[in-house]
């Protein structure tokens, strides 16, 4: 693909209307043709209208991100439309990389770090050119750079919670006390921004992250030696 020479046409949607307005103003100052839209319009208009790019700023809360349909909406943006997402690294937006491998470009920017208007414009143009530009904060690894900044122990507990295991089963699997597992689980919820709410099953939300592709299959470290089994919760 070639670099765009004309001012790109851009759709902007954000969880916070004030933030959306500020981003629109910044991009207009950069001489872009900008339209502010609602989340519900994003996927349909990316297919029906001739926009070059979508800029999305989802909520920082994992619960809001899931319940308000951001994951599905971002995944449904037309593959021919470039996508720039400014998000907290704790959100499972990196799954968009796999979703868009055969289609349009993608830029992921860390919402917890300052982003200037020129830097945002560069990210948009990069995506329009078909490239994938991913902030290092979204790179998944096996240490503290993993999802939510987990430690190695928290990562293992996270994987087992996502697979439906009880705290007792996790303790047996990792040779830890139940109290230690409870501490890890509590810290995982904190890192993911899942506050205690009697109306919400936080373990189900963790499992949803796994289903959405945020984590893969169980690592070898989480498996017992042959002949030993683990109980699952019903």
pLDDT at position 87 is 93
pLDDT reading at 221 higher than 90: no
Handedness of CA 36, 125, 213, 111 (dihedral sign): negative
Nearest to 51 by CA among 29, 34, 64: 34
Q: What percent of the chain has pLDDT over 90?
A: 30
Q: What is the mean pLDDT of the chain?
A: 79
Spatial strand order of the sheet with 33-36 comes to 33-36, 9-14, 53-57, 82-87, 106-110, 132-134
What's phi and psi for 134, nearest 5 deg? Answer: -115, 120
pLDDT at position 234 is 33
What domains can you pick out in the chain, each with its CATH number?
9-138 (3.40.50.2300), 147-222 (1.10.10.10)
Cα of first residue to Cα of last residue in the chain, in angstroms, is 51
pLDDT reading at 2 higher than 50: no
Per-residue b or e along 68-92, where b marks 16 or more CB atoms closer than 10 Å to that residue's CB: bebbebbbebbeebbbbbbbbbbbb
Q: Are 209 and 196 in contact (CB under 8 A)?
A: no
Q: Per mean pLDDT, which range of 23-27, 51-55, 104-108, 191-195 is the poorest?
A: 191-195
Predicted confidence band of residue 173 (pLDDT cuts 50, 70, 90)? confident
Max CA distance (Å), the chain: 65
| pTM for this model (two decimals) | 0.64
Calculate mean pLDDT across residues 173-191.
90
Specify the higher pLDDT residue, 17 or 103. Answer: 17
Burial of 115 (0-12, 13-18, 19+ CB in 10 A): middle
């Amino acid at each position: 693909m070639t670099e765009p020479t004309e001012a790109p046409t851009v759709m902007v949607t954000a969880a916070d209307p004030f933030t959306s307005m500020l981003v629109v103003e910044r991009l207009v100052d950069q001489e872009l043709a900008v339209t502010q839209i609602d989340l519900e319009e994003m996927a349909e208009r990316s297919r029906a209208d001739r926009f070059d790019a979508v800029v999305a700023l989802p909520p920082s809360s994992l619960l809001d991100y899931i319940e308000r349909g951001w994951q599905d909406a971002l995944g449904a943006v037309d593959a021919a439309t470039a996508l720039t997402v400014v998000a907290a690294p704790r959100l499972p937006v990196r799954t968009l990389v796999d979703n868009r491998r055969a289609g349009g470009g993608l830029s992921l920017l860390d919402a917890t770090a300052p982003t200037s208007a020129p830097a945002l414009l560069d990210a948009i143009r990069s995506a329009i050119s078909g490239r994938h530009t991913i902030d290092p904060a979204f790179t998944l690894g096996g240490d503290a750079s993993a999802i939510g900044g987990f430690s190695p122990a928290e990562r293992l507990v996270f994987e087992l919670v996502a697979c439906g295991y009880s705290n007792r089963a996790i303790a047996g699997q990792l040779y830890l006390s139940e109290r230690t597992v409870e501490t890890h689980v509590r810290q995982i919820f904190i890192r993911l921004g899942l506050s205690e709410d009697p109306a919400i099953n936080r373990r189900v939300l963790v499992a949803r992250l796994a289903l959405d592709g945020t984590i893969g299959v169980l690592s070898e470290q989480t498996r017992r030696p042959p002949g030993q089994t683990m109980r699952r919760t019903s």
